[in-house]
Structure 1
Amino acid sequence: MQSPEAILQHTFGFPAFRGVQRAVVDRVLARERTLAVMPTGAGKSLCYQLPALALEGTCVVVSPLIALMHDQLRAATAVGIRAATLTSADDNRAETLARFRNGDLDLLYVAPERASGESFRNLLRQSPIALFAIDEAHCVSEWGHDFRPDYRMLRPLLDDFPDVPRLALTATADEHTRADILVQLGIPEDGLIVAGFDRPNIRYAISPRQGTGQQIAALVSETRGAGIVYSQTRSGTERLAATLAGTGRPVRIYHAGLDSATRARNQHDFVASEDMVMVATIAFGMGIDKPDVRFVAHAGLPKSIEAYYQETGRAGRDGEPAVAHLYWGAEDFARAHQRIGEVEPARQTGERVRLSALGALVETATCRRRILLRHFGENPPEACGNCDNCLQPPSAIDATETARKFLSAVYRTGQSFGVGHIEAVLTGQTNDKVRQRGHDALSVFGIVDGDEAALIKPVSRALLLRDALRTSEHGGLEFGPEARAILKGERAVKLVLPPKRERRRRYAEANPVDDPLFEALRAKRRELAQEADVPPYVIFHDSTLREIAQRRPRSLDAMAGISGIGTRKLEAYGEAFVEVVLEAG
């Protein structure tokens, strides 16, 4: 058997393992059972692809989505790994089965629904199995944010092959979820390897919504490269896409209301593009293994911190700078509190804890990354230097008195009106609506003026976030369970005031020094990708092109020393890129 380092260099073109990769690979090669929790972009797939080449037999990879399997299939084939998928979308089923039975496959990708069936188990008895790899393993746990019942049925398959090592992989699992995965997949506690959750290349930023379309359009204009914008509704994706098209960037949409052919075409276009913006509901993304996404924007509140981490983690998988910007509104929290009241009582406490964690993340005046990582059980430094609060520290003030005035106005006007009317009453505006209802005679009329008036809208957001206010079915504000404690002075309301927005420099430059050779290399990559009908990143990542531009290899031998160029890719593409270097002089 070749050494892991030799396979790493020969096949993948990497001089050394990263992070915990070596520890995971060593356990697999020792035929031990392992759960690896590794952040997106840390090279999880290599942890089963390399052993698949080193061990006798086929590695069976259980993956949740067909699109994700096909992405991984392209990437594996590009480096010379013998791989296939066995899905409902494949028309070469007979060929794949023959290759498996003949021992001609290193990797076989299947969905959990197929893997858990008896017929698939019988198939696996016909050829040696090197390893079971369970990707996106958080799907096995009811505590995970993407629970898939069919993942829960994998244990009998694994136990039927007790001598075959099993490797579970995930990027998003808190302590409770990790413990559940170990039990459900029969992995011992000492088989847990946690690499950490930090994605230092992602710049986190969170802002209140103030004209979401224009806010996200500004982000798109300032950020080169491909990006994903998440909207909470299908109609929202349509409206945002129309706005973002005005930036001049190519834009596609993705949601469950589109027919499958349109969704597939839009996804294909996005994966192949270097600068497209995909506006989508959360139905999009888990099946995408695109490493060069430069930004992820949320036009509304995610379901949980786990979901936020998973969705923002689709940015910067190649390790290059990326940005994740969340735009939230008080109505997001109001709707979330309403939904919690509609679920079964046994789940309400857990849902409130999740929503409270999101509230802490959006409201903090301290480091965003610290709050995010502490949620996953880590103890990071006080400041990360790469989030909005670290880069431009906001101010925090005590707005308890303004909050009490606002709540009093809501109560005295009958808990029937929206923020605009409450603001008019508090600031003493004698408009028709205020006069007709006699609200200009209330004790709360005109009690807010000067600088305090600017706090009214932020205070209303803070009260909705804290569940001190809720929105009625008619759109009026009414008291929530936390209102009384604030009115009685038993609970303070702190406000974070973001700094004034400055013109930001462009984020995540692929070519920060405007090197013409780098652009020529990218053009050659696009040409080769179109000929092979694969996304450009399957040829080489930007980081590999930058190293070529820097080192200017003038021969295949010199090209072979560049990170990310293994033997197969050197043979397929080396001469074409050497030629570009030589032409550049």
Structure 2
Amino acid sequence: MTAPALDLHDSDASQVLRRVFGYDEFREGQGEIIEHVVAGGDALVLMPTGGGKSLCYQIPALVRRGTGVVVSPLIALMQDQVDALRALGVRADFLNSSLDYDQQRVVEATFRAGELDLLYLAPERLRLESTQKLLDGGDIALFAIDEAHCVSQWGHDFRPDYLALSALHERWPDVPRIALTATATPATHQEIAGRLRLEDARHFVASFDRPNIQYRITPKTEPRRQLLELLRTEHAGDAGIVYCLSRSSVEKIAEFLVANGIPALPYHAGLDAGTRAANQARFLREDGVVIVATIAFGMGIDKPDVRFVAHLDLPKSVEGYYQETGRAGRDGLPSTAWLAYGLQDVVQLRKLVETPGGRSGPVGREEHDGDDAHRRRQGRHLDSMLALCETVECRRVQLLAYFGQEGKPCGNCDTCLTPPESWDGTIAAQKVLSAVYRLDRERRQRFGAGHVIDILMGKKTPKVIQFDHDGLTVFGVGADLSANEWRGVVRQLLARGLLAVEPDHGTLALTDGSASVLRREREVPMRREPERTPKAKLAKAAKAAAAELPEEAAPVFEKLRAWRAASAKEQGVPPYVVFHDKTLREIATVRPSSLEELSTVNGVGENKLAKYGQQILDTLAE
């Protein structure tokens, strides 16, 4: 089950980088981290998705004596991670529930014999005494804890089994540990360090900026049509992920895309395990497949050529948003993070935040306090997400600030490319708040946003007439704005906490901050979206990947992709395991005529040169 061993005896980290992975130099920060871990030091690494985190433990595992043990949260992805390493000539394997008894025994024997460079384990398996005894019987080079934010109890991907990983240092005190994550605020950073007992480790914090991703948040009008337009005009034939909050939405959007000629597959926890695995495998192993999913999909996804991530519902936190959008453009090529955002998103999530934890029957004081603390934390997460949506400043600057880092206006997000206008919405805000006040205080009634807007616009709907709301003093005072503009006003008031959503019925209510607006003690500047976003300007960066390729190299690149697809299918591995698009682009541009020339291309290591080199030269010769 293992690949033939590369002779790396007496190699240093730079030699391993070139010979195994095919790269001439480390990315920023990698070399220092690797040197520290090779020397036996513990490390906590915060580095963005696509920043090269995996090399930070893979290379030390190859340089140090013994086997690197990698804790990975999803067994469904271990096979592809191991396939990718084997394609490089690395002796890698995994132990998880997908193996039968005989397969498991073979892996265990290989580990004991010292014939594995890397062994992948799920955190729940590492907790088993049998697994710990197995590791006692071998030689461990290091422990790598991937997706370390899973240890954060209030994070968006909390995994209880990660809490037990703090015991690694007690049982194996001389084995270095490296914990890695792509998502951590300063508070989460400290929580990871404390829970994994890595306070004394060396901490490496890279920039969270992903300059190749274009962040775009657009008003939600007709989300299906908007999504289809994005895919057809900017990402035709591209692989991508579409996130929805509910399972029902996932199914409906996938069906809609398929009906419109786009190869799309659903993924959510309600599907049986076989269907989920098959859909994930197709997404990873075929070009141009779109996966429509809940947040149950994505952690650890290693597909480098995801060209877009689209959200049809508002994420609950900036951490979740960043983690999900980070699955785009892992290869460093231009990609799009697109979010459709509207009033109903704000109402729905405000309701969720304000609704108690769902317990029935009496709730003890301790549980009640815990619920309150959790809701407050969720409220802060949502406030930050809404602030990102409503900002008139650079999205990237605000995103980096959330993670405690500074940035400059990027010129590659919607607010930089098509700056929104800011207008004085104080009077409009007073009209909305006055309507809510009069319904609540004068009539002892509460209604949702749609009915409040009808009253302001002077619409005599059956509901308005039924409740005699055409007699209110605020009836018709808002005829100067359209229904869409009023929805924007209500949305921004909710986003800033100047309006609240009553959790049981979703009706509007005043907050402590409402009074200062009604008394004219506070101004309310608001964001006005451009009437029409210039698509050509926004799409320019998304299409830049194709433009980077010289015109004469484009057909060569497509020929190489076809060869790669056939080779990957024959081996039963994803195409990126053979070569990344970035490597094929360089080959198509350089057009090497010998194995020696091919060996200088980034991403072509010794093992891949020996395995695929002549096939590539033959393909180029055609």
Alignment partner of 1:203 is 2:234: no
Residue 303 of structure 1: aligned partner: 316
1:65 Cα deviation from its structure 2 partner: 0.6
Deviation of 1:217 after TM superposition, in Å, equals: 1.2
1:416 corresponds to: 446
- The corresponding residue for 1:165 is 176
Partner residue, 2:422: 396
Paired position in structure 1 for 2:14: 5
CA distance in 1, matches of 2:316, 2:456: 34
CA distance in 1, matches of 2:340, 2:98: 37
TM-score by length of 2: 0.90
Superposed CA deviations along residues 41-80 of structure 1, whole A, max 9, x for unmatched, are: 0111111111111111111001111023222111111101
Deviations 1:324-368 (A, max 9, x none): 011223233333333333141233332222121111101000001
Flag the 1:356–1:491 CA change in 2: closer, same or farther, 3 A. Answer: farther
Q: Partners of 1:347 and 1:423 in 2: how far apart?
A: 32
- Taking the TM superposition and a 5 Å limit, the aligned residue runs for 1:112-123 are 112-123=123-134
1:546-568 superposed Cα distances (whole Å, 9 cap, x missing partner): 11111100111111110000011
Q: Among 250, 270, 273, which residue is 1:237 paired with?
A: 250
Could you tell me how far apart the structure 1 residues matched to 2:425 and 2:271 are?
45
Q: State whether structure 2 residue 121 is matched by structure 1 residue 89.
A: no
Which residue pairs with 1:292 in the alignment?
305
Q: What's the counterpart of residue 141 of structure 1?
A: 152
Q: How many residues align?
A: 582
Structure 1 match to 2:364: none
Match of 1:178 among 182, 189, 200: 189
Q: What SS does structure 2 have at the residue aligned with 1:296?
A: strand
The match for 2:480 is: 450
Find the partner of 1:345 among 372, 386, 396.
372
CA deviations over 1:232-259 (Å, ceiling 9, x no partner): 0000111111222244220000011111
- Letter of the aligned partner of 1:573 in structure 2? Y
1:521 counterpart letter in structure 2 = L
Q: 2:264 aligns to what?
A: 251
What residue number does 1:503 align with? 535
8 Å contact from structure 1 (residues 137, 169) kept in 2: yes
- Give the AA of the match of 1:71: D
Equivalent position to 1:552, from 584, 591, 614: 591
- Asked whether the 8 Å contact 1:373–1:379 carries over to 2, the reply is yes
Letter in 2 for 1:59: G
Identity %: 48
Distance 1:417 1:346, change over 3 A: closer
Q: 1:452–1:302: structure 2 CA closer, same or farther, 3 Å change rule?
A: closer
In structure 1, runs of 5+ residues without a counterpart are: none
Mean CA deviation greater in 106-115 or 69-78: 69-78
> Does the CA contact (< 8 Å) of 2:392 and 2:419 recur in 1?
yes
Out of 532-541 and 134-143, give the one that drifted further.
134-143
Contact 2:41 2:201 in 1 (8 A): no
Distance in 1 (CA, whole Å) between partners of 2:435 and 2:386 is: 24
| 1:359 aligned residue | 386
Given the alignment of the two structures, is residue 107 of structure 1 paired with residue 138 of structure 2, yes or no?
A: no
Matched, 1:223 2:235: yes
In structure 1, what is the equivalent of residue 56 of structure 2?
47
Q: Is the 2:420–2:529 Cα contact (8 Å) retained in structure 1?
A: yes
Contact 1:240/1:279, CA 8 A, preserved across alignment: yes
1:130/1:190 CA distance change after superposition, 3 Å: closer
Opposite residue 409 of structure 1, the aligned amino acid is A
2:515 aligned with 1:484: yes
RMSD: 1.9
The match for 1:36 among 45, 49, 53 is 45
Alignment of 1:259-278 (within 5 A): 259-278=272-291
* Separation (CA, whole Å) in 1 of partners of 2:131 and 2:534: 58
The Cα of 1:433 is off from its aligned counterpart by 3.8
Aligned counterpart for 1:440 among listed residues 460, 470, 495: 470
Change in CA separation of 1:335 and 1:491 when aligned onto 2, cut-off 3 Å: farther
2:266–2:292 Cα contact (<8 Å) kept: yes
Task: State how far apart, in whole Å, the 2-side matches of 1:431 and 1:186 are.
Answer: 62
Question: Could you say which residue in structure 1 is the equivalent of 2:579?
Answer: 540
- Between 1:255-264 and 1:500-509, the stretch displaced more is 500-509
Check the 8 A contact 2:77/2:301 in 1, yes or no: yes
Distance 1:83 1:442 in 2: 72
Tell whether the 8 Å contact from 1:205 to 1:326 is kept in structure 2 after alignment.
yes
Deviation at 1:481, TM superposition (A): 4.6
Instruction: Name the CA distance, whole Å, in 2 between partners of 1:111 and 1:66.
Output: 6
Letter in 1 for 2:28: G
Offset at 1:452?
6.9
Cα deviation 1:243-298 (Å, max 9, x = unaligned): 22244220000011111111111001111122111100000001421111000011
> What one-letter code is carried by the residue in structure 1 that aligns with 2:529?
P
Which ranges of structure 2 fall in alignment gaps of 5 or more residues? 1-9, 358-370
Q: Can you list the C-alpha shifts for 1:21-55, whole angstroms capped at 9, x where unaligned?
A: 10110011110111111111011111111111111
Letter in 1 for 2:110: R
Superposition deviation, residue 300 in structure 1: 1.0
Letter in 2 for 1:65: L
Q: Give distance in 1, aligned partners of 2:212 and 2:59.
A: 26
What is aligned with 2:568? 529
Deviations 1:169-203 (A, max 9, x none): 11111112222222332324460011121111110
Question: Equivalent residue of 1:450, what SS?
Answer: coil
Q: 1:572 aligns with which of 581, 593, 611?
A: 611
